[in-house]
A = this chain, B = another copy of it.
Amino acid sequence: MGNADDINSSADNYNWDAAGRHRVAVPPPQPFVKSLKNTLKETFFPDDPLRQFKNQPPRKKFILGLQYVFPILEWGPRYTMPFFRADLIAGITIASLAIPQGISYAKLANLPPILGLYSSFVPALVYAVMGSSRDLAVGTVAVGSLLMASMLGNVVNVQENPKLYLHLAFTATFFTGLFEAALGIFRLGFIVDFLSHATIVGFMGGAATVVCLQQLKGILGLDHFTHATDVISVMRSIFSQTHLWRWESALLGCVFLFYLLSSRYFSKKSPRLFWISAMAPLTSVILGSILVYLTHAEKHGVQVIGHLKKGINPPSIMDLNFDSTYLPTAIKTGIVTGVISLAEGIAVGRSFAMFKNYHIDGNKEMIAFGMMNIVGSCTSCYLTTGPFSRSAVNFNAGCKTAVSNIVMALSVMITLLFLTPLFHYTPLVVLSAIIIAAMLGIIDYEAAIHLWHVDKFDFLVCLSAYIGVVFANIEIGLVMAIGLSILRVLLFVARPRTLVLGNIPDSKVYRSVDQYQNAHNVPGILILEIDAPIYFANTNYLRERISRWIDDEEDKLKTSGETAALQYVILDLTAVGNIDTSGISMLDEVKKIMDRRGLKLALANPGAEVMKKLNKSKFLETIGQEWIFLTVGEAVGACNYMLHSCNTKTTSDVSEKYSNNV
């Protein structure tokens, strides 16, 4: 038979070779440019976003292109009055959540509270025009705010230089936007995929814990507090000033926290009552402000927001600070907060789209998020994304389109123009209670328990993210979790499983004897399945492991007193998706080892990529095309035939005879 190139030449003889076996095809050669194009397409355009542009006239293409960038042009013309009624209610509902949350999170980021309101105005409008989710509600997030505070706090002391700090926050937001938009434009959105579910559960849980701990400052009415976020520093900071704890503040905080948590409890019990929980923060703020105003508690240790400037967002484009001293920090902060907020925003968009059965293009969403933050950074806003809690309220309130974001933005605008003085007496402790209540909902211990049950390694990733965030800092936790996740992928490839296969009774099917207790070995033949691509990282391992399987098998035969010696080793390559040059050298070596031990090597079901490379590297000639089989069953059949028809001769005679035969 010889060369593999012969295979396609004899057309009338295509399916079967002379020995009556199926042939294993070498895939038809592809020009390099074409296969490169294919690879690039699968890497960067797996969802084929240009599908709808195919075979369209240029004018239509232009319109489709505009609609692609500005989805509002697509759904806008079909917008109806009943939709508007639904969006109006949803928009007002999320505005009632956005105002207190915005103020709270801005405090968390060490920024002026008014920025929280600014940030619910402009970015929401940008997203309404460019975003493709119908349920996402735009706003700031607690974790991102805290992350920004801790990263920027490393280089600027906010007490000493609040203006520089503010400008760096705008600059970091600008870079967040730039980074997000770039990921989307260059179709690199899959980078976000490297944040696994387990990482996010652990990281979010840890961040929420840290945020809650930070609120103890507000609840206990403390003036001085550590800048570190880890649990040990925070605890030390709190218990070193027990004499400064204010019971008035703590009492107020606990009462409002109880109110917020119980309202959520009732809402959870009956989804129709979601508005109780949605309205709770605003009612807390109103009640708290009235209470302070009436009792003048601000003079008895209850800190209040104080003066808020009237008027909508001032421009901040001139405040962006590209000074080389701070640039690296600004860029780093921008990228880290960008990744985290993208991960949340994209996941939220996808979940609701999945629920309502429409499609979201992740890369397109990233461009929308990016533009929202770029425009935001020029109009006195800081980091925004699509927070889960607010989007869930939006969804429950029955929103139909992104118009609910416009309604929210306008409500916030009215607040900014006319209602800011009303927040003068809002006690900070109420804001802390709002944050704690929101954060307690984020700590998803049930998901962690689920991870433990299903996948111990995922649980380890989750736990290390949590511990890293809580005991070290947010960045360390994130790096640990991502590092572990990637290590797992590398370990999967570096230490692939090799399985011994046996015959399932009454069939020609061969399956792992560990999984199928009824599968039984074929005497004289060892069948191994390799469960991963054969790459440089695992070639040494696989060579050792295959040798060890052979040793084990021979030992077993010896101790069991079988007369039939091991004669054939069949490698099932079904699960070997790819092979590199190191892998081919390894197969060469395995072949040599087998030859020396008087064993014959057969391969079953190599895939297209593997066949192509075996052919190009001439390994097909080394092993002989007649030792490559379409299925394990056929390989066993051929080996058995040789074993039984000529078992007086030596193995090499047999194979020679067989290959001459073929």
Contacts and interface: CB of A to CB of B under 8 A. Distances in A.
Interface of A: 14-15, 22, 25, 27-28, 32, 36, 42-43, 46-48, 51, 190, 193-199, 354, 357, 362, 450-451, 453-458, 485-486, 488-497, 499, 504-507, 509, 511-512, 514-518, 531-533, 535-541, 544-545, 547-548, 551, 574-578, 580-582, 584-585, 589, 592-593, 596, 605, 607-609, 611, 613, 616-617, 630-631
A112 B541 CA distance: 41
Nearest to A586: B197
Contacts of A539: 193
Contact of A197 (B518, B548, B582, B608): B582
B193 A580 contact: no
A531 B198 contact: no
A357 B613 contact: no
B357 A47 contact: no
B194 A548 contact: no
A193 B583 CA distance: 12
A532 B575 CA distance: 8
Contact of A492 (B493, B608, B617): B493
B589 A354 contact: yes
B15 A535 contact: no
B581 A454 contact: yes
A488 B538 CA distance: 14
Contacts of A608: 499, 512, 514-515
Given A197-B581, A592-B354, A494 B190 contact: yes
Contacts of A531: 577, 607
Contact of A46 (B196, B544, B574, B616): B544
A584 B458 CA distance: 12
Contacts of A577: 492, 496-497, 531-532, 575
A504 B15 contact: yes
A532 B577 CA distance: 7
Contact of A15 (B493, B505, B617): B505
A530 to B, nearest CB: 9
A362 B541 CA distance: 11
Contacts of A456: 32, 36
Contacts of A517: 14, 25, 28
Contacts of A537: 190, 193-194, 196, 485, 489
Contacts of A195: 536
Nearest to A194: B537
A493 to B, nearest CB: 5
Contacts of A551: 51
A460 to B, nearest CB: 11
Given A504-B630, A577-B497, A540 B362 contact: yes
